[in-house]
A and B are shown apart, each in its own frame.
Chain A
Amino acid sequence: MGSLFRFLFEYRLFFLFVLCEVFSFWMIITKNTRQKSAWLTSSNNFAASAMEMSDAVTGFFGLYQENEKLAGENARLNTLLTLSKQKIDKMEMDSTKTPAMLEQYNFIVAKVINNSVSKPNNYITLNKGSLEGIKPGMGIISPQGVVGRVMVCSEHFSTATSLLHSKMLISAEISRIHASGSLKWGGNDPNSANLEFVARHLKPKVGDTVRTSEFSNILPEGIHVGVIRKISLKDDATFYTIDVDLATDFSTLNFVYVIENKLQAEKDSLQLKTTGELE
């Protein structure tokens, strides 16, 4: 306290000067109309720029909501896109699809809140659950490509098996030659997986695109999976060994779409009935 007073006393001239100047400027801007208006406008400019700055800051913190909104919009557009794709399909093969199939898929936006890529079996946690209409078994895609399948749902959260999981198989096909196989993760590199069961009489090439096939129970057909990186064929093997570069970057997953297949139950029960009868 003493040193504070000593400091104030040391610079008493300066503080007195500042005090007096503040007082005179207060008089200037309160008693002189012209200076008052100038003060008001310049302070308004100041206020405006401050508002602008704070808007920029809150805008930055609002990016999350903005992202979510855009992802929602994306989901809506994706639905529209698959719808129109299916409409085109319908025009092409009019008799094969029914109106119910045209609105077969519904997209639900969710955010990935937990994720891993380095374990032998990787899981993803999503911030939406059964209240949002998510059910176990639904497929998950990202804007880039296939992600995985919902495993367990609570009311507000879901956990899903990532494609990077040893038990996860996805029906995929090499779209150029319509050669279907099963996509399975090798267990090491989160950026690549193996396409198995492609028969040796087919002629896949490096660079061919791999998409989900229409045999898939959980995903619509034609979802991007990746690109063939390496093909090898052993002399005694029945199937190719194909390495696929995955389109989805699992390490940066953020927003994903959970795909609701409205005809899933019907298809499942029919297949069950068939196999049940067969057994």
Chain B
Amino acid sequence: MISRNVFQLIWKILVYIGVYVFIGHRLNAFNLALCFSYTGAVLLLPISTNPVRVLLFAFAVGFGIDIFHSSPGIHTAACLLMAFMRSSFLNWMVPAGGYEDYMTISIPSMGMKWFLPFTLGLLFMHSFLYFIIDYASLAQFGMVLVKATLSTVFTLLGIVLTQLALEPPKRGD
């Protein structure tokens, strides 16, 4: 018996990946920022998800995106790093009173003060590793940093917009 929550989860994951596949990967702001909005599928998994499953899931997502881009390994490596660090971040950033069942990783649920450091930190790791591997050298390290930073912001924008579309805040909130 698969509960409704699981269907919802699968639907959300498909949307994040779909948004990237159909829109996100074409976005390239000033040749400086890419929108890795598929990361939302890993990043915004329920808080209580087993870290090992998150890691395996991230591997699958990254691998799928790599096949799509025919760049075997690059997205996988970056995505894995993000997924691994995600569980550490969750441990470090336990709010006072611990996580509750109703909490989801979103601005309305956790507040800006929690949501921004969490997503920006992890997304930066993802884009940084991605660009380091993409450039495959440290010669243009400054460029890697600039692109990673801008892509982090751009990706976060994409994720937040997708999330808003998926879970519109209820009126009166």
Contact = CB atoms under 8 A, between A and B. Distances in A.
Interface stretch (A14-22, A125-133, A215-223): A14-22
Question: Is the contact region of chain B dominated by helix, strand, or loop, or is it mixed?
Answer: helix
Contact of B80 (A21, A34, A38): A21
Interface string A34-45: 110111001000
Contact of A17 (B55, B66, B71, B137): B55
A27 B72 contact: yes
Contact of B55 (A13, A26, A31): A13
A24 B52 contact: no
B73 A25 contact: yes
A198 B66 CA distance: 97
Nearest to A41: B137
A26 B51 CA distance: 23
B118 interface: no
Interface in A80-107: none
- Name the interface size band of chain A: 20 to 34
Nearest to B78: A24
B133 A28 contact: yes
B134 to A, nearest CB: 8
B144 interface: no
A20 B73 contact: no
A27 B55 contact: no
A35 B136 contact: yes
A84 B122 CA distance: 81
B19 interface: no
B80 A24 contact: yes
A38 B137 contact: yes
A12 interface: yes
A27 to B, nearest CB: 3
Contacts of A13: 51-52, 55, 84, 87
A26 B66 CA distance: 14
A42 B136 CA distance: 10
Nearest to A22: B77
A37 B56 CA distance: 29
A24 B84 contact: no
Interface string B106-125: 00000000000000000000
A38 B52 contact: no
A136 to B, nearest CB: 68
Contact of B77 (A25, A34, A37, A39): A25
Contacts of B136: 34-35, 37-39
Contacts of A232: none
B76 A27 contact: yes
6 contacts: A13-B84, A17-B80, A21-B81, A27-B76, A35-B133, A38-B137
Interface of A: 12-14, 16-17, 20-21, 23-29, 31-32, 34-35, 37-39, 42
A-B pairs with lowest CB-CB distance, top 7: A27-B73, A38-B136, A28-B73, A24-B76, A24-B77, A31-B72, A27-B72
